[in-house]
Structure 1
Amino acid sequence: MKNIVITGSNGLLGQTLVNLLLKEKQNYNVIGFSRGENRSGRNDFKYVSIDITDEEILVEKLREHSPDIIVNTAAMTNVDACEENKVACDKLNTDVVRHLKEYSEEKNTHLIHLSTDFIFDGENGPYKETDKPKPLNYYGLSKLKSENILTTSNIDYTILRTILVYGKVFDMTRSNIVLWVKKSLENKEQITIVNDQYRMPTYVVDLALACKLSIDTKTTGVFNISSNTLLSIYEIAKQVADVFNLDENLIKSISTTELNQKAIRPVKTGFNLTKTNKVLKFFPKSFKEDLQKFKEKLT
């Protein structure tokens, strides 16, 4: 049985991964690390309420539970908030990874870490794992720094880069693009969506499956995880309307320049999934197919 610590176990990916691993209780002993109360709606795993940015407590709790594998899903992902509060951003997105790396070095632990398309400048997407990063905002920079901590280490690491993660879990503190569009249109609210940024959104269930594959096969290195179709964010919203039978006339398009966001966003990211198919044996679907699966899950 593998001891698995999931940091950020209260988050969207954290809860999804906890649920996935607990389907095979005979194979995994799951330990969730997160702030505050356990929000997963289940009590059949070990939950540790912890501020993982406190290095001393983090290391103490890791020693106590001696994981074979750590999956680090905790991050500060609000791009504008990272721009405004670089210290907090670095603390969670970079320093925590350094502490996890140091622990993993000492104990020979496999560390799985989540990263982002925002390490790229969006000039030449879709990107391969080997393309040269060039972040445009502080969030992207903090995630690139965390990647560099691992790629220059001698531990067993897996970096899963992902894009615009969506889905739903038991108790959520944050929304995501799909839920926001769906809820707005259900409430007959008009929304404006940017039409000149391009992404490949990721269904959280797929991302959790990719984490589980990395755990089970102990595959190391850097991998891209997303859906397989590049769409403008405006097209993404229209597909949400279509799949959930909502009024797409409520969606108005807007250009990035009109948005006036604090942090610069890359124009066109997206991933080349060849290595993911070949090495991880993971074959993502189109956004529309994933949306259909998500819709079935919701109903």
Structure 2
Amino acid sequence: MSIESGMKKKVLVTGANGLLGQKLIGLLRNDISVELIGTGKGASRLPESWAGSYTWMELDITDREEVLEVFAATKPDSVIHTAAMTQVDDCEKDREGCRILNVDAVKYVIEACEKQDSHLIHLSTDFIFDGEDGPYTEEAVPNPVNYYGETKLEAENLLLASNIRWAIVRTVLVYGIAQDMSRSNIILWVKKSLEQGKTIQVVNDQWRTPTLAEDLAEGCILIMKKGATGIFNISGADFLTPYDMAIQTAEYFGLDKSLITESDSKLFTQPAKRPARTGFNIDKAKKELGYSPKSFLAGIGILAKQLKLADS
């Protein structure tokens, strides 16, 4: 069923309490062509003012029977699967939990989509690559260097082997703020640290194309509306180190850049290895979807406005 048919398209979002999930619900909730279903483990944590613009259903994606039941009850035309375990070090330390969320749950979602003939839009990551020669195109050969990347690649391969209509959305270092969010991001961390007069060490030997959460949500929606299939890189366009990002953040907010010290990632000990040079070439998404991300500086500006609104 297409949007153009005049009938509403049923869109189910998993992980709707998360950062990307909240952005998707926020963008789609007033779309008259969409009947929107938000799902998540437990009650909705979305803004109360959004009530009535979507249907909420509790869903534990690690429970196969529950996944099949919710999909059978809702019969979604499109599913945007954002729910996953994404904290890279946690994945390294809790491999069983990571596998259940990032691989087993994807099997259940694929099975449910096959039964309901749903188009599945699945979120993946730059961490499926080893970081030897980024930025990467969609055709680059994956070679993960940590367990998180291994599970996300395994999930991609499940889609490739399936009989459903699917799109894989690979993204990079997503940043943003949302309702009831416990996780920080590099912009908020740098801003808060410098405001408190703290000296911070920021690595200068890793490269990414940081992605504004709103841009990622818009990329997913473009895929959903077009019924597009295949692999799409959806990220920001600016190829930056975390040090570059920190300097831009300090400059935007008029904070003391001398408090920011360049550092080497080898000085930090973390459970999971990070690929050095990832980032994405997004030419395919621009050409085929009309995707147009904001610059990193514009993204900082959007966060700044959201922070003001949250404080008001």
Using structure 1 for the length normalisation, give the TM-score.
0.96
Q: Which of 272-281 and 121-130 deviates more?
A: 272-281
Secondary structure in 1 matching 2:30: helix
Is the Cα contact below 8 Å between 2:125 and 2:152 reproduced in 1?
Answer: yes
| Structure 2, unpaired ranges of 5+ | 1-7
1:27 aligns with 2:49: no
- Given that residues 165 and 229 in structure 2 are in contact (C-alpha distance below 8 angstroms), is that contact kept between their aligned partners in structure 1? yes
Residue matched to 2:4: none
Measured after TM superposition, the shift of residue 176 of structure 1 is 1.9
Structure 2 counterpart of 1:98, one-letter code: K
Measure, in 2, the Cα distance between the counterparts of 1:32 and 1:69.
12
Which stretch of structure 1 is more off in the superposition, 229-238 or 43-52?
A: 43-52
Q: What is the alpha-carbon distance in structure 2 between the residues aligned to residue 297 and residue 227 of structure 1?
A: 19
The 3-state SS of whatever aligns with 2:29 is: helix
Higher mean C-alpha displacement, 279-288 vs 156-165: 279-288
Counterpart position of 2:153: 144
Distance 2:255 2:132 in 1: 33
Task: Tell me how far apart the structure 2 counterparts of residues 228 and 246 of structure 1 sit (CA, whole Å).
Answer: 25
> Relative to 1, partners in 2 of residues 1:48 and 1:186: Cα closer, same or farther, differing over 3 Å?
farther
Could you say which residue in structure 2 is the equivalent of 1:8?
Answer: 15
Measure the CA separation in 2 of the matches of 1:286 and 1:159. 23
1:195 positional shift: 1.3
Q: Percent identity?
A: 46
The answer on whether the counterparts of 2:84 and 2:101 sit within 8 Å (CA) in structure 1 is yes
How far did 1:295 drift?
Answer: 2.5
Query: Which string of whole-angstrom CA distances, capped at 9 and with x for unpartnered residues, describes residues 241-283 of structure 1?
Result: 1112222222222211110111110000011111111111112
Unmatched runs of 5 consecutive residues or more in structure 1: none
Secondary structure of 2:168's counterpart equals strand
Q: How does 1:1-299 map to 2 (within 5 A)?
A: 1-24=8-31, 26-42=32-48, 43-44=51-52, 45-299=54-308
Cα distance in 1 between the residues matched to 2:186 and 2:168 = 23
TM superposition outliers: structure 1 runs of 4+ over 3 Å: 296-299
Structure 1 counterpart of 2:111, one-letter code = E
Number of matched pairs: 298
Alpha-carbon separation, structure 2, partners of 1:285 and 1:19: 18
Paired residues of 1:166 and 1:179 also in contact (CA < 8 A): no
Give the 3-state SS of the residue equivalent to 1:59 in structure 2.
helix
RMSD over aligned Cα, in angstroms? 1.3
